[in-house]
């Protein structure tokens, strides 16, 4: 039996407390009054030289946002536009801590969900190499239930407690004046959104609950009936998962831009999920192995995980590029705005993550010998995880805070909060059962696995 070390426990609790403080600070400093934002904007424009340039800037900027006022000129209109612009920026500033929290919550949740899908895949494909890693995977998937509920709670709270800080389709005022969102309101309304989310989380958690129950029962069983049960529910879960994962990615990610849609978005999110999940499996296995708890995991298992990291990084890049290139090539205005805002306001992050998520893993993990070296795998894994955090960041932030983004206390403390929570829940779950499954039909093969 593994027992969580006190150091790790204190570390994760310290992360949670520091994170909570930071998140609280972020929320407290994001409520700027109209006048504060007005003076802030005036200061910003004066840095760019000339007070008059400010007005034209405001006009040009606002022309993009409001279609109803086109062609109207005059002082009254200019004042109106100015008010709108200040309110727009005020809203973006207020959105920042919400978005920072949501990005971090989703990032850690998607790791757990990716591992759950990978775990089911190992059962359904009757993989012979992975049974020694099952308990590590089960530990990580214990975060699916709390993580999913937190993400859903933040999403709904942003529309009920907050001022529609993440999803503008939750704002009845916006829906009333927006034909496009109004037409989608049959799908995008808070009630149905919450019910869908709960159904997904319930389905994933039920699978996780029973798979875990059966593998633990298999440890002391006399036949393989529990293994067969896990096999069956894993196959069924994978069917359920691929539908719900697609819908979840439309709901929780794509609907921050309710005017935009992409067909392969669900798979794109899935590929990011899988690669970060597998990276975390490798991390936790290496950690436990280095502490002497998982001697049975050899460098061939690590090699296999690193191959999956390599392969899924390329798969992610393939989907990222397919989505980008199709929209870039056709350049249809209603689709392309998504990438226009990202390239204009998030240029470094948007293309930088391509380097982190594709170029680095591709070159670093190509060599077969390097995939067996723990510190090499950890290094590549850190790059991959940072890259996929930025990926989620660039999916959410442009829709909520626009060009008012930065990395500061709200973002870093949100990551700390959920990292602490994730570590605490995962390592507590690891203490609940022996780290190696027993009586799994593929266990012997897995123990002697070498590549």
Partner 1 sequence: METSKVIHAIYTDDDVLMSAVKKVKAERYHIEEIYTPFPVHGLDKAMGLAPTRLAITAFIYGCIGLIVSIVMMDYIMIEDWPQNIGGKPSFSYIENMPAFVPIMFELTVFFSAHLMVITFYLRSRMWPFKEAENPDLRTTDDHFLMEIAVHGNETELENLLKETGAVEIKLIEKEEAH
Region from 89-97, 242-250, 322-330, 396-404 binding partner 1, contact rule CB under 8 A: 322-330
Q: Which residue has the tokens 């929209």?
A: 327
43 contacts 31 by C-beta, under 8 angstroms: no
Among 125, 183, 290, 331, binds partner 1 (CB under 8 A): 331
Kindly state the smallest distance separating residue 310's Cβ from partner 1, in Å. Answer: 14
Among 368, 434, 444, 451, the residue binding partner 1 under the rule CB under 8 A is 368
Q: Does 351 bind partner 1 (CB under 8 A)?
A: no
321 sits near partner 1 (criterion: CB under 8 A): yes
Selected from 1, 71, 76, 329, the binder of partner 1 by CB under 8 A is: 329
39/347 with CB nearer partner 1: 347
Report the residue from 34, 192, 328, 407 that binds partner 1 according to the rule CB under 8 A. Answer: 328
Taking the complex as a whole, how short is the minimal distance between the CB of residue 329 and partner 1, in angstroms? 7
- For 378, what's the count of Cα atoms within 13 Å in the CB-facing half-sphere? 9
- How crowded is residue 316: how many other Cβ atoms within 10 Å of its Cβ? 29
Per-residue DSSP letter, 220 = T
> Which of positions 170-209 make contact with partner 1 (CB under 8 A)?
none
CB closer to partner 1, 351 vs 407? 351
What sign results for the dihedral spanned by CA atoms 314, 315, 320, 324? positive
Spatial distance between the Cα atoms of 228 and 31, rounded to a whole number of angstroms: 55
Q: Which stretch binds partner 1 (CB under 8 A): 199-207, 231-239, 318-326, 393-401?
A: 318-326
**Among residues 321 and 407, whose Cβ is nearest to partner 1?**
321
Stretch that binds partner 1, among 60-68, 100-108, 231-239, 325-333 (CB under 8 A): 325-333
Phi, psi of 436 (to 5 degrees): -120, 130
Please give the backbone phi and psi of residue 386, each rounded to the nearest 5 degrees, phi first.
Answer: -60, -45
Residue with tokens 């403390």: 413
What's the min distance (Å) between Cβ of 359 and partner 1? Answer: 13
Compare residues 126 and 368 and give the one whose CB is closer to partner 1.
Answer: 368
CA–CA dist 144, 272 (Å, integer): 16
Tokens 């030289």 sit on residue: 49
Q: Are 133 and 449 in contact (CB under 8 A)?
A: no
Tokens encoding 380: 């590549």
Residue 180: exposure state from Cβ atoms within 10 A (0-12, 13-18, ≥19): exposed
Which listed residue (161, 242, 325, 382) binds partner 1 by CB under 8 A?
325
- Asked if 164 is part of the footprint of partner 1 (rule: CB under 8 A), the reply reads no
Query: Which residues bind to partner 1, rule: CB under 8 A?
Result: 321, 324-325, 328-329, 331, 366, 368
């Amino acid at each position: 039996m593994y027992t969580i070390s006190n150091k790790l426990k204190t570390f994760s609790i310290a992360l949670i407390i520091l994170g909570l403080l930071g998140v609280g600070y972020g929320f407290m400093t994001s409520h700027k009054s109209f006048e504060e934002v007005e003076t802030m904007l005036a200061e910003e424009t004066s840095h760019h030289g000339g007070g008059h340039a400010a007005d034209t800037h405001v006009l040009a900027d606002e022309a993009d946002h409001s279609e109803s006022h086109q062609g109207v000129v005059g002082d009254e209109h200019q004042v109106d536009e100015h008010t709108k612009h200040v309110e727009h920026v005020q809203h973006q500033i207020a959105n920042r801590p919400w978005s920072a929290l949501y990005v971090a919550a989703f990032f850690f949740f998607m790791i757990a969900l990716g591992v759950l899908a990978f775990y089911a895949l190992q059962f359904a494909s009757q993989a012979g190499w992975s049974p020694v890693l099952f308990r590590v995977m089960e530990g990580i998937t214990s975060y699916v239930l709390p993580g999913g509920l937190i993400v859903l709670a933040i999403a709904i709270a942003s529309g009920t407690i907050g001022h529609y800080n993440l999803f503008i389709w939750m704002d009845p005022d916006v829906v009333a004046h927006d034909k496009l969102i109004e037409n989608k309101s049959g799908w995008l309304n808070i009630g149905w959104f919450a019910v869908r989310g709960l159904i997904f989380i319930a389905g994933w958690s039920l699978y996780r609950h029973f798979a875990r129950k059966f593998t633990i029962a298999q440890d002391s069983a006399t036949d393989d009936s529990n293994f067969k049960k896990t096999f069956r529910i894993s196959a069924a879960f994978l069917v359920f998962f691929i539908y719900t994962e697609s819908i979840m990615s439309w709901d929780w990610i794509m609907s921050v831009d309710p005017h935009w849609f992409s067909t392969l978005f669900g798979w794109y999110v899935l590929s990011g999920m899988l690669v970060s999940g597998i990276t975390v499996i490798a991390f936790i296995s290496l950690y436990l192995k280095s502490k002497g708890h998982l001697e049975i995991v050899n460098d061939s298992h690590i090699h296999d995980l690193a191959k999956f990291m390599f392969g899924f990084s390329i798969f992610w890049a393939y989907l990222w590029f397919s989505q980008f290139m199709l929209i870039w090539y056709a350049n249809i205005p209603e689709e392309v705005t998504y990438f226009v805002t990202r390239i204009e306001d998030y240029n470094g992050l948007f293309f930088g993550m391509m380097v982190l998520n594709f170029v680095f893993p591709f070159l670093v993990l190509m060599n077969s010998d390097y995939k067996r070296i723990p510190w090499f795998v950890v290094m590549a894994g850190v790059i991959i995880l940072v890259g996929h955090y930025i990926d989620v960041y660039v999916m959410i932030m442009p829709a909520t805070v626009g060009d008012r983004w930065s990395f500061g206390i709200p973002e870093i403390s949100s990551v700390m909060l959920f990292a602490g929570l994730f570590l605490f829940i995962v390592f507590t779950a690891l203490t609940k059962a022996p780290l190696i499954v027993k009586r799994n039909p593929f266990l012997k093969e897995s123990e002697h696995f070498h590549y």
